Each structure stands twice: as structure tokens, then as C-alpha cells.
Amino acid sequence: MSKNITVSRSNKVVNATIQLTGSKSECNRALVIEALSGGKVKVTNVSDAADAVTLSGILRNATADAQGSPRTVDIGPAGTAMRFLTAYFPLQDGEILLTGTERMKQRPIGILVDAMRKLGARIDYAENEGFPPLHIKGGFDQVTDTITVQGDISSQYITALLLIAPNLPKGLDLHIAGELTSRPYVEMTLSMLKQAGIRYEWNDNVISIPNQEFSETQIWVEPDWSAASYWYSVAALADEAELFLPGLTSYSLQGDSVITELMANFGITSQFKDGGVHLKKEPKPVTRKIFDLKSCPDLAQTLIVVCAALGHEATFTGLETLKIKETDRIAALQNELGKMGVKLIEKGQVYKLDCSEKFVPEHITIATYEDHRMAMAFAPLALIIPNVEIEEAEVVNKSYPAFWDDFAKAGFEVR
């Protein structure tokens, strides 16, 4: 049953230690590598994010029922699982009907399906052309080792293809056309494959991975920098803040670790010591006016809400992929920021905050649109607005199930 949560706070001084769950991005990649390695690779510090739990369960049972009629695999709202499994299941035996929530059936998958079909995979659309659910017949003869995909699409399409490359009989030469938008996520995938003993070459716009065996190894999943971003947001909106996030490193594979640089603009210092990162708020006027979020689109909501709360009229670029996420995140931000008089104005591919009519209500109710990041990006507003009510608050389970418990631990009243 969906429930609303109201967050409030009596003072604006935050002091806490928060232990974050494993990175959803790293974990989902590691789980697929583990499955493709035939047990040679073991994953530790598995994330308890709902998406990772879903994917882990499906991969464990993937070989359980390979014969007979198509087996239905329902990934719910887990977008990463949908993309990774679209590439994974054609390499397995048996028939699968891969489906998800109603929203998942509206999220495009055609580019990845086209690429898999070119390789020789047998995939059909069960309902609408270009969208899940998918009817997948496992086991195929690879017809080519060369695929071209656009660089400005979801990096998860590219990652899905790279993950299966070592298991393809002919290997894979993946050509990236145009500019690669979410480069850090592709780099993360390749780094994790390398950890598992996979050799690759990346020359100009071509990534080549030959057919090869995985090595016996253990992949430890680092805590989630995307989850850390909400604590940076808390620090930015507090009068004083000292927070410690154990397990995070300065040499992370995760693109969202760039939050340390972004939030330095708001006076948040990040010190890596004692096996984690210490955040501290230093009084500092915010002067930076333009933020390019092309390589870290999952930080967009966090950063835009912080700027709006501080009345800082910044400009944002690199938000092209936001309209095809869990929801249309641009429209969702425009609707909810409007409740405090702030406009997010779209001009082509540039977005500008207009805070000229901003006001601070006594109570604000935030709709979440089945999007975990809407809930977590807006919750820190409780440092500015006396009562912040978040609708369908359990949506955070997708990536950060302990979010509300951690908020209470940090001294917020969560009811």
C-alpha cells in the first residue's frame, strides 16, 4: 500500500554518520558478470536496492526452467534489469517473455533489440513495436561481430552489449556513432569487466572485446554515490553540516562521484579519510551559473532542487535523457518546483531556473511519479520548508531502501 511521509526539522544543524547501500549501477553490472562467468566471479557487498534484488533473483533462476513454453520474467519497474536481460537471455537456452510495469512498457528498447537482432538474436515484440514486453528465443548463431549504436542514447544499451561480448563466439566490435553522453557509465562497465579478467581495446569510437573466458575473482561493490548525492544536498541546504559516509573512495568507478566537485560550488568540502568521505559545510556564496550534467544525468534532480531552494538562478545542460527515465523528469521537476513559485524554463537543450517568484510555503506536497529520485531529491527541502510531504514514499526502495530510516537517524522528523 502506498503511503505518504512528512519530513520536518526543528534546527538546521546536521551531524551524522550514514552507511550507504552498495551502488545499484555497479551491483547490476557485477551480477550479470557473475552470471555470465558461470560462477567464476563472486560479488560481495550486494546492494539491497529493489532493482538489484530483482535482477539477482532472476539471474539465479534463469536456468531453472529452460524447456517448454515461454517462461514469463517480470522485472517490475527495474529499467536496468530490462536492458541487461534483453542482451543476456538470447545467450541462454529456452524461451522467455520479458515484461515489466505499465511504465516499463512505455520505455523504448528498440535500439538494443535492433542491435541484438543484427548479432543474430531471436527477439520479437509481444505488444507494441519498439517497446517491452519481449518474446526471446534463447540460443543463436552469431552472424556478425560489428555493431554500430548512437552515443547519445542510454549508456545501459551500450553496457548491455559490452557485458555479453566475451561470451559471443566472434566477440564484438562496438562502434559508437557521434558523441558518447554517459561516458563514465561505459568506463565503469569496462573497468568491472577488466576486474573479471576480460581484455578489451578502446580506440577512438570503437570498443573491441574478443571472445574469452572470465577469471576467478571477487568484485566488491562500492557504496552508492547516487545515494550519497542526497546527503550533499542536505549539507548544502543546512546552516551547518558535518556528515561521514563510510566506504566511499576518491577513485570511484561511479560517474556520480562528480557530486564532490559539483557541491564544492555550494561550500561543501569532501575529505577522504577514515575509510570514507567527510562532508563539511563552509559558508560560501554560490557563483557558478552553468552546470553541464551530460555525464551524470542522475544528479540533475538533486542539483536543480538545491539551486531552486537557495534561489540560485542557474542554467543546466546535458539533460536530454531525462524525459525517458522512470518518468519524464523534466515535466516532473517543472510541476513540483512550481509549488514553490520556481520555474524551470526549457529553451532547446538548455534549462534555466527562474526564482523571481519563489516563496516558502508552510507545507508542500511532492508527487513522485513512480520515480525514486523525485522523492529523495525533494526530501532535503525540509531544511527550508517546515513540512515536506512526499507522496508514495516507498518509491525509494528502487535504489535506497533505508533512505527514510537514515533521514530519521540524521535528526529529521519522519512521520
Q: What is the pLDDT along the chain (415 residues), one digit of tens a residue?
A: 479 999 999 999 999 999 999 999 999 999 999 999 999 999 999 999 999 999 999 999 875 454 557 899 999 999 999 999 999 999 999 999 999 999 899 999 999 999 999 999 999 999 999 999 999 999 999 999 999 999 988 899 999 999 999 999 999 999 999 999 888 899 999 999 999 999 999 999 999 999 999 999 999 999 999 999 999 999 999 999 999 999 999 989 898 999 999 999 999 999 999 999 999 999 999 999 999 998 899 999 999 999 999 999 999 999 887 877 778 899 999 999 999 999 999 999 999 999 999 999 999 999 999 999 999 999 999 999 999 999 999 999 999 999 999 999 999 999 9
Residues 113/124, Cβ–Cβ less than 8 Å: no
∠ CA 306-241-285, rounded to 5°: 50
Amino acid at 230: Y
Within 10 angstroms of residue 116's Cβ, the number of other Cβ atoms is: 26
Q: Calculate Rg over the CA atoms of the chain.
A: 22
Protein fold of 24-220: UDP-n-acetylglucosamine1-carboxyvinyl-transferase; Chain (3.65.10)
**Three-class SS of residue 277?**
strand
Whole-Å CA distances, 266 to 9, 101, 306: 21, 38, 9
The catalytic site residues sit at 298
Class level of CATH domain 5-22+222-414: alpha beta
As a whole number of angstroms, the distance between CA 231 and CA 410 comes to 10
Q: Do the bridges between strand 268-273 and strand 240-246 make them parallel or antiparallel, or are there none, so unpaired? A: unpaired
The end-to-end CA distance of the chain, in Å, is: 16
Nearest residue to 22 via CA among 46, 41, 54, 57: 46
Strand partners, 413: 8
Q: Where in the chain is the domain with CATH 3.65.10.10?
A: 5-22+222-414, 24-220
Residues 318/289, Cβ–Cβ less than 8 Å: no
Q: Do the bridges between strand 134-137 and strand 95-99 make them parallel or antiparallel, or are there none, so unpaired? A: antiparallel
**CA 125 centroid distance within chain:** 25
Q: What pTM, to 2 d.p., does this model score?
A: 0.85
Grid cell at residue 182: 554517459
The owner of cell 530483482 is: 54
As a whole number of angstroms, the distance between CA 7 and CA 390 comes to 8
Grid cell at residue 66: 529452460
Nearest residue to 96 via CA among 120, 131, 60, 67: 67
Residues 116/192, Cβ–Cβ less than 8 Å: no
Whole-Å CA distances, 17 to 20, 159, 220: 10, 33, 21
The runs of H, that is alpha helices, within 93-215 are 110-119, 155-164, 183-195
DSSP 67: S
**Three-class SS of residue 390?**
strand
As a whole number of angstroms, the distance between CA 404 and CA 402 comes to 6
